[in-house]
């Protein structure tokens, strides 16, 4: 196995043990990135020099006797997270040339734990999208079929990890932006409880929903990444001051004693026979591992999409007001200051960002605020209550992560059809719950000639990441779906 | 006020047309005629979908702004290190000395 193909756990163990240096791992990964990323397009910026300097520092720290849980682990950082001295674009023209003057807490913690920043990865502009096609700065392809999208909005980090251009991808999830690309790229995509990971230095989209988390090839790697990046941060007043339990040392081998809820309203028969059978099999596998399956109901989950597409745009219209051409980013000159604002924002934002700012501004405007925004906030209460009631009966909830495998480019031309991709992930976001996607099988989509991965979404109560990752680990170990097919770029690059 | 009040709850009217130009003005985004047309149709379409919320009885429900417990966060009122002025101004589209330079705001 090539150095760059190893898991984060393997690399950290070997670098810590001195059998390989962080510098060697970094060189191998950078060589691989330069060989394949022309095809994949995972990165907007490859940080050769920054990565090499970080590797040297990690090797020095290991020699000095430090224990680093992510020693030498190659890291892909979504380009909405700040890293001092590096271009940080959020996939937008308005920040195309912006260089971050500080580092996001979650990124700083990963680097402190020994991870090596290989590059800043592509994303839907300001994290608004489910395919990465809304990036204003580049195209990212799914490593399992280059004619298909990697998912989004964390498409770049997902593609990077799937194509072995990093072992851990840092993503942000507002309505599914880690879990859906995780499912599309045969990865574990993990969104911790809202507030577990500091948002300081994450370019805000919808502040009451945004949460940073990892994309990895194994559950164990997700646990290692989570331990490194999470925890209270005085720089984010919504981060939670609550102890982060050790997780990577408590991964389970079975599911005995656990009750897993299957959601009545998420009937997979609507997704077609093949997908229905795949999830049926996944639920039976959970049972075979010792879990008791019970039916639960989330009667208002169906309102998740409508609720989300009022709350998230409302928050985004407010957050993105800061991009005005005054202090940083693009400026287009105008006749007066208002003309300058309007021209700057017209030139700097892409269509999806404009759409969401407009809908959010409308929902917050005088006369509509109660009818739209407040009503959505009340619906959010009902959705969170549904989960509370369901978790009185079960420990975990299992359902699809997405309604289909990765689709082809330009397949979702009408905005609402793209929004539907987040149907299964949005309710958990609105309730702030920890949730992840873990590979659960393969489907050859109609018209496709390669099997594409599907993801099982597991959700658990607030702050029960240990339970969630533990259960996902048992399922992953028993089923081994992820290793059944290889990415397509091998054939293309003739490696 | 264009929304109607029925039985004490506010009903969303999906037939409403968004005045896209007015909203874009509030959002400080210049739109082309083509964008006004396209966004108008797309936003009306989205509003029809979110109209589903009018079927929910939320008359007895409190609004949720934040799902996880939150409390007021305070700190001692002391100076702390922050970015220095030169670092911040490096990214300014236009500067003059130690200031951000902007077009004239108050007319002569």
Contact criterion met (CB < 8 Å) for B11 and A378: no
pLDDT band per the 50, 70, 90 thresholds, residue B17? confident
Question: Does B61 sit within 8 Å of A240, measured CB to CB?
Answer: no
Residue B3 has pLDDT above 90, yes or no: no
The whole-number pLDDT of residue B18 equals: 82
Q: Which residues of A touch B103 (CB under 8 A)?
A: 333-337, 339-340
| Residue A403 pLDDT greater than 70, yes or no | yes
pLDDT digits (tens, 9 = 90+) for A309-331: 999 999 999 999 999 999 999 99
Using pLDDT thresholds of 50, 70 and 90, give the confidence band for residue A181: very high
State residue B108's pLDDT score: 65
Report CB contact under 8 Å: B67, A431.
yes
Exposure letters A158-176 (e unless 16+ CB within 10 A, then b): bbbbbbbbbbbbbbbbbbb
The answer to whether residue A224 scores a pLDDT higher than 60 is yes
- Between CA A298 and CA A296 the distance in angstroms is 7
The confidence score (pLDDT) of residue A386 equals: 98
Question: Is A32 within 8 Å of A44 (Cβ atoms)?
Answer: no
* Best B11, B15, B29 residue to mutate vs chain A (most A CBs within 10 Å): B29
Altogether, the residues listed in chain B come to a count of: 108
Contact present, A215 and A169 (Cβ < 8 Å): yes
Average pLDDT estimate for A78-91: 98
- Nearest CA-CA distance, residue A108 and chain B, Å: 16
Residue A197 clears pLDDT 50, i.e. is over it: yes
| Mean pLDDT taken over chain B | 84
Indicate yes or no: CB of A333 within 8 angstroms of CB of B103: yes
DSSP A335: S
Residues from chain A that touch B67, judged by Cβ atoms under 8 A, are 194, 208, 380, 384, 430-432, 462
Cα four-point dihedral sign A40, A46, A52, A53: negative
Taking CB atoms and an 8 Å limit, are B12 and A306 in contact across chains?
A: no
Q: Are A21 and A114 in contact (CB under 8 A)?
A: no
Residue from A238, A358, A422 to probe the interface with B (highest B Cβ count within 10 Å): A358
Strands across the sheet containing A43-46: A43-46, A116-121, A74-78, A168-173, A211-216, A188-191, A435-443, A452-459, A396-400, A259-263, A292-296
Nearest CB to A341 within list B18, B28, B64 = B28
Q: Token pair for residue B84?
A: 């220095």
Residue A102 pLDDT exceeds 80: yes
Strand locations in A259-353 (E):
259-263, 292-296
pLDDT, average across residues A57-78: 98
pLDDT tens sequence across B54-71: 999 999 999 998 888 777
ipTM for the predicted complex: 0.92
Size of interface A-B (CB pairs under 8 A): 179
Would the CB atoms of B91 and A193 count as touching at under 8 Å? no
- List beta partners, residue B105: none
User: What is the structure's pLDDT at B16?
Assistant: 60
pTM of the model: 0.96
Using the predicted structure, report yes or no on whether residue B4 has a pLDDT greater than 70: no
Q: How confident is the model at residue A126, as a pLDDT?
A: 98
CA distance to partner chain B, nearest, from residue A432 (Å): 6
**Whether A128 contacts A364, CB under 8 Å:** no
Mean pLDDT of chain A: 96
- Structural domain boundaries of chain B? 4-55
Q: What is the pLDDT of residue A490?
A: 61
Q: Which residue of A has its CA nearest to B22?
A: A362
pLDDT band at A162 (very low <50, low <70, confident <90, very high): very high
- Which residues of A are catalytically annotated? 78, 153, 177
A-chain CB neighbours of B26 within 8 Å are: 361, 365
What tokens appear for A390 in the block?
């369901």
CA distance A266 to A275: 13
Residue B56, SS3? coil
pLDDT per residue as tens digits for the range A116-158: 999 999 999 999 999 999 999 999 999 999 999 999 999 999 9
pLDDT at A397 over 50: yes
Helix axis angle for A304-319 and A351-364, nearest 10°, is 100
Contact B91 A327 (CB under 8 A): yes
Q: Looking at the partner chain, which of A309, A345, A365 has a beta carbon nearest the beta carbon of B28?
A: A345
Token duo for residue A270: 């609507």
pLDDT score for B8? 37
> Given 3-state DSSP classes, what are the helix, strand and coil percentages for chain A, each rounded to the nearest 5?
45, 15, 40
Contact map slice: B 13-72 vs A, CB within 8 A: 18, 20, 23-24, 26-31, 35, 39, 42-43, 45-47, 49-54, 56, 58, 61-70
Which tokens hold the place of A479?
């089923």
Residue A416 to residue B50, Cβ atoms within 8 A: no
H or E stretch covering A181: helix A179-184
To the question of domain B4-55 being in CATH 1.10.20, the answer is yes
Tell me what pLDDT residue B26 has.
97
Q: Hey, what domains does chain A have and what are their CATH numbers?
A: 3-252+436-443+453-484 (3.90.1300.10)
| A493: pLDDT strictly greater than 60 | no
Q: Could you give the CA distance from residue A294 to residue A421 in angstroms, rounded to a whole number? A: 26
- In the prediction, which pLDDT does B71 show? 78
**A494 or A269, which is more confident?**
A269
Could you tell me the pLDDT band of residue B9, with boundaries at 50, 70 and 90? very low
For range A454-461, the mean pLDDT: 98
Contacts of B21 in chain A (CB under 8 A): none
Chain A CB contacts of B82 below 8 Å: none
| Contact assignment for B102 to A359 by CB distance below 8 Å | no
Q: What is the pLDDT of residues A425-440, one digit of tens each?
A: 999 999 999 999 999 9
Percentage of chain A surpassing pLDDT 70?
99
Determine contact, residues A96/A344, Cβ cutoff 8 Å. Answer: no
**A214 phi, psi to nearest 5 deg:** -95, 155
Show the beta-strand stretches assigned E in B12-84: none
For residue A237, the chain B residues in CB contact (below 8 A) are 70, 73
Burial category of A178 from C-beta neighbours within 10 Å (exposed 0-12, middle 13-18, buried 19 and up): buried
């Amino acid at each position: 196995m090539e150095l760059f193909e190893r898991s984060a756990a393997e690399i950290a163990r070997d670098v810590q043990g001195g059998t390989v240096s962080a510098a060697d791992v970094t060189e191998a990964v950078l060589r691989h990135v330069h060989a394949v990323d022309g095809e994949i397009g995972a990165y907007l910026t490859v940080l050769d020099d920054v990565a090499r300097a970080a590797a040297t520092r990690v090797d020095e720290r290991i020699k000095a006797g430090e224990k680093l849980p992510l020693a030498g682990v190659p890291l892909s950082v979504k380009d909405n997270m700040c890293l001092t001295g590096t271009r940080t674009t959020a996939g937008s023209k308005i920040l195309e040339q912006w260089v971050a003057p500080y580092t996001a807490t979650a990124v700083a913690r990963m680097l402190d734990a020994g991870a090596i920043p290989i590059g800043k990865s592509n994303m839907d502009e300001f994290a608004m999208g489910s395919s990465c096609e809304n990036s204003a700065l580049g195209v990212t392809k799914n490593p399992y079929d280059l004619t298909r999208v990697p998912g989004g909005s964390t498409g770049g980090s997902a593609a990077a990890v799937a194509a072995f251009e990093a072992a851990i991808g840092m993503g942000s999830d507002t309505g599914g932006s880690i879990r859906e690309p995780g499912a599309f790229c045969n990865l574990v995509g993990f969104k911790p409880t809202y507030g577990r990971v500091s948002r300081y230095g994450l370019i805000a989209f919808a502040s009451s929903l945004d949460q940073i988390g990892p994309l990895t090839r194994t559950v164990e790697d997700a646990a290692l990444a989570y331990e490194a990046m999470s925890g209270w941060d005085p720089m984010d007043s919504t981060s939670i001051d609550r102890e982060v339990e050790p997780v990577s040392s408590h991964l389970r081998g079975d599911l005995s004693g656990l009750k897993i809820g299957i959601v009545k309203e998420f009937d997979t028969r609507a997704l077609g026979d093949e997908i229905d059978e795949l999830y049926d099999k996944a639920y039976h596998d959970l049972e075979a591992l010792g879990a008791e399956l019970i039916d639960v109901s989330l009667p208002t989950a169906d309102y998740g999409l409508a609720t989300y597409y009022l709350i998230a745009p409302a928050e985004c219209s407010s957050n993105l007001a800061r991009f005005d051409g005054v202090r940083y980013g693009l400026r287009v000159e105008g006749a007066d200051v208002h003309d300058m604002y309007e021209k700057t924002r017209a030139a700097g934002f892409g269509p999806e960002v404009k759409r969401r700012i407009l809908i959010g501004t409308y929902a917050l405007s005088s006369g509509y605020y109660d009818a739209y925004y407040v009503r959505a906030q009340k619906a959010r209460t009902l959705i969170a209550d549904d989960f509370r009631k369901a978790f009185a009966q079960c420990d975990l909830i299992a359902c699809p992560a997405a309604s289909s495998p990765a689709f082809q480019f330009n397949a979702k031309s009408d905005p609402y059809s793209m929004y539907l991709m987040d149907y299964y992930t949005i309710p958990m976001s609105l309730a702030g719950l920890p949730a992840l996607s873990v590979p659960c099988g393969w489907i050859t989509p109609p018209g496709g000639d390669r099997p594409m991965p599907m993801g099982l979404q597991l959700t658990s109560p607030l702050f029960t990441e240990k339970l969630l990752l533990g259960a996902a680990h048992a399922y992953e170990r028993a089923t081994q779906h992820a290793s059944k097919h290889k990415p397509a770029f091998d054939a293309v690059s003739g490696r | 006020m264009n929304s109607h009040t029925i039985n004490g709850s506010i009903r969303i009217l999906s037939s409403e047309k968004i005045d896209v130009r007015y909203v874009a003005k509030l959002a400080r985004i210049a739109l082309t005629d083509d964008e006004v047309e396209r966004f108008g149709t797309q936003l009306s379409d989205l509003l029809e979908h979110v109209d589903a919320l009018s079927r929910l009885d939320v008359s007895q429900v409190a609004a949720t702004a934040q799902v996880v417990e939150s409390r007021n966060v305070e700190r001692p009122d002391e100076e702390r290190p922050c970015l220095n002025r030169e670092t911040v101004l490096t990214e300014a589209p236009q500067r003059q000395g130690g200031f951000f330079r902007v077009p004239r705001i108050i007319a002569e």
